[in-house]
A and B are shown apart, each in its own frame.
Chain A
Amino acid sequence: MNRSPEGVRSQILADLSPVRPLPRPWRRGLAVYGAGAAIAAVVTVRFGVRPDASALGPGVLWGLSLLQALYGLLLVGVALRESIPGRRLSAGLAPGLLVAGLSVALLITLVTWTVHASDVPTGKLFYYWRICFEMPTIVGFVPLALTLLLAFRAYPTRPALVGALAGLGAGLVADGSWRTFCEVTAPSHVLSAHFASVVLLTVLGAVIATVWNRLR
C-alpha cells in the first residue's frame, strides 16, 4: 500500500461528490418482497394448486406456506441489514437464524406429513425429484440474485454470511411457493428435493457472495 495521508486525503477530496444515503434495509428489500410475491403468484397460476389441498386445509397449505415465505423474506431483510457496516448480527444470532430457517422448513415438512401422508407415484421417483429440486432452485435464484445485488450496493463485511442468509431466505420463499403445487408430503421426497434445493441456494449464496467480494 504505502500511501501518504496527504495523498489519500487529496484523492478523496478530488472525488467528493454528493451521495444519497441508502434507504433502510426493509425498504431496500421491497424489490425482493415484490419478487417473492410474484413468484408465489406465478407458481399458483402457472402450475395450479396441489390436488390434496382440501385434505390439508387452508391453514396447513396456505398458512404454513405463507409462514415459510415470510420467514424467508425476514432473512432477506436481515441479510440486507448485515451488509451495512456496523449493523452486524451478534455471534449467536447469525447461526441461530440460519438454523431456525432450516428448522422451519423441517417442521413444516413434518406437520404436513402428519396431517396428510402422500408418497411419490411408483416409477416416477426421479422425475418428481428432478422437478422439485430444479424448479425451486431456478425460481429461488431470482430473489437470491436480487438480494445479493442489493447487498453489494452496500458494504458487506461478512459476505459469506450475507450470502448464506440471502440464499436461505430466497430458498424458503421459493420452496414456500412450490409446496402449494407439489402434492407429495413424504419426508424422503421433501427433504431430498425441496429441502436440498433450499440448502443448495444457501451454499450457493455464500459462495457467490464470497467470490463477488474478492472480485470487488
Chain B
Amino acid sequence: MTQNAARLTLLQPALGTATAPAIGPIPAFLRHNVPVAARSTHAPGRRTEETGVAVRDAADEALRALMSGYQAGDRDAFERLYAELAPVLGRLLLRLTHDPGRVDDLLQETFLQVHRARHTYDPAFPVRPWAYAIARHVFLMDCRYRHRRGDLAACQPLDEAIRDKAPSHEEMLATRSELGHALSRLSRGTRESVVMHHLHGLSFREIARRLHTGGPALRARASRGMARMRDTLEDEGNGNEQKP
C-alpha cells in the first residue's frame, strides 16, 4: 500500500465515511466505466439541510423512470440505470466486505440478481432500497458460501472489522489536522466546492444555486481541489513540505 493510499484510508473517517476499508486494487466501478455525474450526485444517505429532500426526490424520480424503462426492456434505460446504481451499490458492498478485491465480483453478481428480480420492483417505491436489499442478499450469500469453504474471516461481524481496521484516535486527530492543512492551501472558491460537495454532500446543482456559479465550473474546481489535496498529502507524507 502506498503512503497516499494509506492516508486516504485514514482520511475516510475524517470525511464522515462510516468505515475505513483498506485500500487495495481500485474496484472497476470506481475506475472509468461510470460517468462522473453518476458517481457524485446520488450517494446514499446524503441530505442537504434545506433542499435535500427535494434533490433526493428528483434523483429518485429519475431512477424510478429508468427502472420502469428497464422493466419495459429499454436498453438505454438499463445502461443509464447501471451507470447510476453501480457506484452506490459498489460503495455499499465495499462497506460490507471491507475488501475492494471482492467488490467487483459481488457487484456483477448483484446486477445479475437485479436483472433476475427486476419484475419485483414496484414503481411506486424508491429504487435504491430495493437494489440495496438485493446487494445485501448477494453479500450474505457470498458470506455463506465462503463460510462453508472455511473462509471464516471473510464476513466477520461489522463492528469487529471496523475495530480492526479503523485508525486510532491519535491517527484520526493527525489526519484531521493534515486535512485542514491541505484544505487551507486551496483557493477560497476551490475550497468551498470541495467542502460543500465532498464534506457536506451537496450536489453540484445545489452548490451552483447557492453560489450562483455554473455547475461544470464547480465540478472542475472540486476535482482540481481534490487532486491538489492528494498531492499535498502525498508530498507531506514523503517529507516534502510545500510552500503555501
User: Contact at B108–A87, with CB atoms within 8 Å?
Assistant: no
User: Contact at A5–B33, with CB atoms within 8 Å?
Assistant: yes
User: Contact at B71–A18, with CB atoms within 8 Å?
Assistant: yes
- Taken together as a complex, chains A and B put the C-alpha atoms of A88 and B140 apart, in Å, by 15
Chain B residue nearest to A9 in the complex (CB)? B82
Q: Mark A1-32, 1 if CB is under 8 A from B, else 0.
A: 11111011101110111111110100000000
User: Contact at B108–A155, with CB atoms within 8 Å?
Assistant: no
In the complex, chain B residues whose CB is within 8 Å of the CB of A2: 105
- Taken together as a complex, chains A and B put the C-alpha atoms of A133 and B141 apart, in Å, by 36
- Taken together as a complex, chains A and B put the C-alpha atoms of A16 and B73 apart, in Å, by 5
User: Contact at A19–B119, with CB atoms within 8 Å?
Assistant: yes
- Taken together as a complex, chains A and B put the C-alpha atoms of A176 and B113 apart, in Å, by 39
User: Contact at B122–A24, with CB atoms within 8 Å?
Assistant: yes
In the complex, chain A residues whose CB is within 8 Å of the CB of B131: 85-86
In the complex, chain B residues whose CB is within 8 Å of the CB of A15: 115
Chain A residue nearest to B73 in the complex (CB)? A18
In the complex, chain B residues whose CB is within 8 Å of the CB of A19: 71, 73, 118-119
In the complex, chain A residues whose CB is within 8 Å of the CB of B122: 21-22, 24, 84
Given the interface pairs A12-B112, A15-B115, the reply to whether A85 lies near B133 with Cβ below 8 Å is yes
User: Contact at B72–A18, with CB atoms within 8 Å?
Assistant: yes
User: Contact at A86–B130, with CB atoms within 8 Å?
Assistant: yes
A154 at the interface (CB under 8 A from B): yes
User: Contact at B115–A12, with CB atoms within 8 Å?
Assistant: yes
- Taken together as a complex, chains A and B put the C-alpha atoms of A44 and B136 apart, in Å, by 46
CB distance from A28 to the nearest CB of B (A): 11
B129 at the interface (CB under 8 A from A): yes
B210 at the interface (CB under 8 A from A): no
User: Contact at A85–B75, with CB atoms within 8 Å?
Assistant: no
Complex interface residues of chain B between 103 and 139 (CB less than 8 A to chain A): 104-109, 111-113, 115-123, 125-126, 129-134, 136-137
User: Contact at B112–A11, with CB atoms within 8 Å?
Assistant: yes
User: Contact at A8–B108, with CB atoms within 8 Å?
Assistant: yes
CB distance from B51 to the nearest CB of A (A): 25
B172 at the interface (CB under 8 A from A): no
CB distance from A212 to the nearest CB of B (A): 14
Apart from A16-B75, A19-B119, A86-B133, what 9 extra A-B contacts exist at CB < 8 Å? Answer: A1-B106, A1-B108, A8-B111, A21-B123, A85-B120, A85-B133, A86-B131, A154-B120, A157-B134
5 A-B residue pairs with CB within 8 Å: A3-B108, A7-B108, A11-B112, A12-B112, A19-B71
